[in-house]
Structure formats: C-alpha cells, structure tokens
Structure 1
Amino acid sequence: MKYILLVFLGACSYGILSTIVKLAYGQGYSPAEVIGGQMFFGLVLTWIPALFFLRTKPGKKQLLLLVSVGLAIGSTGILYYNALRFIPASIAIVLLFQFTWMGVLAEAIMTKQMPDKPTLLSLVLLLFGTLLAGGIFETDGIAQFHIAGVVLGLLSAVSYTMFLLFSGKAAIGVNPWVRSASMSTGSFLLAGLVYTPVFLWNGALLDGLFPYVFLLAFFGIFIPTVFFNFGVPHTGPGMAAILGAAELPMAVFSSFIILGETVSALQVTGVVVILLGMILPEWLRQRHKRLKSSLS
C-alpha cells in the first residue's frame, strides 16, 4: 500500500502543473523560460539528496539508460506545455490522459498477458470520467480542439507512457535517489537542446520567474520522479497508469481553488468516476482474495 500511495501522490503533484504554467504564461513568460527553468531547478533539487547516496555509483550503461528515461520526462513536459498554447488545459489534460490505456496496453504486450477484468473495468471508468472532467461533453468542448494542440497532447501521452514503462525497469539496482537525479539530468539536457536557457542570463529569474519554475521543478520533477522511482518497481506500469489518473482531479481542484475557474456538475461527476475507477480494481482484488481464502 505504501508504494501505491507514493505513485498516487506523485500523480497528484503532476495535477498542479497546468495551473502553475497558466499563471506563468499569464505573466508573459515564454515556454523556453518556463520549461528551461523547471528542468534546471529539477536537476538541482534531485541532485542535492542524491549526492549523499553516491557510494555505489551507477555504471556507464546504467547511467545512459537512466538519462534516456529522463528524456521521456522532459519531452512530456515540453509537448504538454506547448499543447497548452493552442488548447485549453481541460482539453490538453484529456489528451495527456490517454496514457491510462496506453500504459495498460503496453504492459499487456510486454508481458503477453491480457489485463484482468477489474483493470479493464477501471480503464472504462477512467476514460469516461476523463471525458466528463475535461469538459468534452460541454456545449463548446469539441469546438476548442486545435490540430496542433491535439497532436502535441497525444504525443505527450505517448511520452508519459514511455516514462511509466521504463521508470520501473531501468537500472532498478541503483539507489532511487541517484536514479531520480540521473533522469532529471536527461530532462535538462533535452530542454537545453530544444530551448536556449535564456532564463539564466536575461534577468527573468529575479524579475518574478523564479517562484513559478521552482514550484514546477518541485511538483513536476522532484516529487513525481522520486516517488515513481520508489513506487513503480513495486506496483508495475499498468497499476501506475491507473493511479496516474489522480492527476486530473487534482488539476480540476487546483484550477478551481487557485485560478477561480468554474467547475460544472459534469466535471465534478467525472472526478468522482475517475476516483471510483482508481479504487475499484484494488477493492475487487481484495474482495476476491477474501472470498477465496474463506472458501479454502
């Protein structure tokens, strides 16, 4: 249960990001400044504790593998934040949330085993709840789609799926803190290649950018990367994808509390359905175990 809780909390931390990004964009900061700053401070935050666990350094192959997984984290942020420039956060997060079925499907292909009935039921509930919570069924929901935003949003889902798949399998013998720091290194390198790190010298950090990028680094790099590195090897990528659905309710909640955005009854219903879809599979499994043990 503690590993399930870690993955759940890591997913919740992701849900805060869209609100912070919208606030930063509202202050006139560019994607290069926001994304680059997040990845830079994510690198700093993850390496500080990792330095105390470097007694057993990862080998070159392990380090390269972990840095490669970090590329998936970085590309998810880059793709998702750019999708927010073309489509509303509610639509972008629905597209990102396609990782729920992508992760379960990928695990089924890798293990050559069909998902059990509770997992399939959970996926149906999660997808339906996501559409409700994302406002797709609202009057102007479909009208807000933009082809560039849709493509970027779906690609962010693919990238996030890759992160969930390999974060629990890459160099699991390496200390989780060092794994997290190595992954954040990959994220920063990718951001540096895509965007010139102008925030380091254009004065934006001292001009108000710092609080936004520090919070993005803390909730978008440090907490989820560390929590997932501790939790996903024990829950598996399929369960991690289901638990990752906690991101959307948190996104809706933070937008309502911080941004004052209106939340409709359909969106609230969607959040409830998502939470049900997360809890149901484990409850059904535990119920089945109790019945099986009582019969034996």
Structure 2
Amino acid sequence: MYVLAAACSFGLLSTFVKKAYDAGYHVGDVVGSQCLFGVIMLWLLVLVVSKSARGAKAESSAAAYRAKPRQVLTLMAMGTTSGLTGIFYYGALQYISASFAIVLLFQFTWIGIVLEAIMGRKRPGADKILSLVVLFAGILMASGYLKGGLEAPSLLGTTLGLLSALTYSLYIVVSGKAATTVAPITRSALMQTGSLVLVMLVYPPHFLWNGSLHEQLLPWALLLAFFGVVIPPLFFSLGVPRIGGGMATIMGAAELPTAVTMSFVVLHEAVSALQWVGVIITMIGIAVPELIKRKRRDVPFSGHTGGFSS
C-alpha cells in the first residue's frame, strides 16, 4: 500500500505541472521550486518527529533520526537519481511527443526487474514475468501512442527517455537499500537534498528573485513538493524494504493510470477507449503478482480452501 500510494502520488504531478505551465512558468521554475519546498517540508518533518522521539526519552529511537557523515553522503548521492529522472524526462519532451516519452519512461518496469535480478543474482519469478508482459501491453495502450501514426523518433529524445527510465528504476531499487538503520523520514530528506543540489546546479533558482513566488507559482510549488517530493520518497522508503525492488517497480506502474484519470477528470483531455482499456490492463498487471502470491498461500481446511490476507 505504501508503494502503491507513492506511485499514485507521482501520477498526480503531470496535472499540476500542466496547470503551472498554463500559468506561464517554465521547467526551471517548476522543478526548482518543487525540490526546494519539498526538502524544506521533509526537514521540518524530521525536526518534529525526532523531537517527539527525544521527548519520549527513547534514545534508541531518537538516534535513528541521525545519520553518520558517510551515510549522509551515500543517501545524497542516491538521491541524485530522482533529480536525474526529472532532468532526463523533461529533456526528452523537447525532442519527442509526450505519448512516446511516457512509453519510454515506463520501461522502468522491466528495467527494475532486471536490476534486481542482477543485484540479487536471482532469476525473476514467473509471476513477475507474467505481470511485466501484461504491464507492457497496458502501458503501451494507455499511453495513447497507438492512437495515431508512428513518428520517426529523435535519437537524442529516445536516449533521454530511456535514461529517465533507468534512473527512475535505480531510484526505486536503491531507495530502501542504503542506511537502513536511519529512520525513513531522515533517509528521504537526505536523498531529496541530494536531488535538490543537482537540480539547482542544472536549473539556477531564478524563481527566488524574479517575483514568481509572489505571483501564482507558490501554490503549484507546494502541491508538487508535497505529492512529488514528500510523499513518494517517504512511502518508498517504508514500502520497498518490505516487498523488494522488483515488486516495487511493478506497483510503481500505478502512476500511469493515475495520470490518465487525472488528465481526463481535471484537465478534461480526450482519452480514447483504447487508452481506458490500457489503464484497466495496467491495473490487472499490477495485481497479478499479489493475486498469485495469495493463491499460493491458500491452504485446505475442513474440506474448504481458505487464505490469509496480509
């Protein structure tokens, strides 16, 4: 549920970004303000929660909110994968259509499974492979790319799109791997601080002095910060260690149906029947591994078949 909520939270972002763009703001304003306010929110949460732990005189608990210098550097370095995903994806959109770009981004589903198999030296199970096949079909239809004629894609745009998928996969896989003794909220704050440093180097924060924050940028920055920087990394940190990076990449595909639904309901964009079918198939693909797992748990009892739900 944590990973699913994080993915759905990511799915809300495209709607907020489009609204911000309609208000006249560009990529640097939107991405930079999102990262800045998100990091501020995370560190405020760390301060409040750690203070509460100290107040309860739980020294072991309070210590979890502190990180050693090596852990700080490691987590900040890993956090750059989040910043790189945004940079590569927005870069790809300059050269290829949005529908093709999202197809490329969602290659993270199989890339994540491959990465986990390589890192864990373990072959993916049949349930994950089946889920990926279903997911790929659903994602391709839900993206809307099959709706019209194929374009001759830009090599640079395609490369950037695939790089965004790779860095997103890395982000999901590593988010629960490093400094596991550190509290998830502190890990998230440190990782997003690393992302902020990278984004600020690429997109200098002109919004801080050009008056954008005093106009219409602030509300969108706060929404993007909360749903794009605070909720996803925190929930991924809580959820990934419990289900593994491979399952997390599968659950992360919930971002696509969320984005399509939001664009239809909020932005009133036309969504074809084929795209809705793709959304349904994507949801089935997300559910397949869990359904197979629950079926395997079923045990006979007094002539009946029952199961335990986690």
Which TM class, normalised by the smaller chain length? over 0.9
Aligned partner of 1:28 in structure 2 is: 24
Deviation at 1:74, TM superposition (A): 1.1
Paired residue for 1:136, among 145, 152, 164? 145
Paired residue for 2:12, among 12, 16, 20? 16
Kept in 2, the 8 Å contact 1:88–1:144? The answer is: no
Identity %: 47
Distance 1:96 1:276, change over 3 A: same
Paired residue for 1:155, among 137, 148, 163? 163
Kept in 2, the 8 Å contact 1:53–1:178? The answer is: no
Structure 2: where are the runs of 5+ without partners? 51-61, 306-310
Structure 1: where are the runs of 5+ without partners? none
**Distance (Å, rounded) in 2 between the aligned partners of 1:292 and 1:148:** 56
1:43 is the counterpart of 2:52: no
- 1:94-243 to 2 correspondence within 5 Å? 94-140=103-149, 142-143=150-151, 145-243=153-251
Deviation at 1:144, TM superposition (A): 7.8
**Distance (Å, rounded) in 1 between the aligned partners of 2:168 and 2:68:** 25
Deviation at 1:126, TM superposition (A): 0.5
1:269 is the counterpart of 2:277: yes
Instruction: Name the structure where helix makes up a greater proportion of residues.
Output: 1
**Distance (Å, rounded) in 1 between the aligned partners of 2:274 and 2:42:** 38
- Using the size of structure 2 for normalisation, the TM-score is 0.89
Moved over 4 A (4+): 291-294
1:278 is the counterpart of 2:274: no
User: How much is the aligned-residue C-alpha RMSD, in angstroms?
Assistant: 1.8
Greater C-alpha Rg = 2
1:81 is the counterpart of 2:67: no
- Using the size of structure 1 for normalisation, the TM-score is 0.93
**Distance (Å, rounded) in 2 between the aligned partners of 1:88 and 1:219:** 25
**Distance (Å, rounded) in 1 between the aligned partners of 2:300 and 2:106:** 34
Bigger CA drift: 189-198 or 145-154?
Answer: 145-154
**Distance (Å, rounded) in 1 between the aligned partners of 2:178 and 2:290:** 26
Aligned length: 290
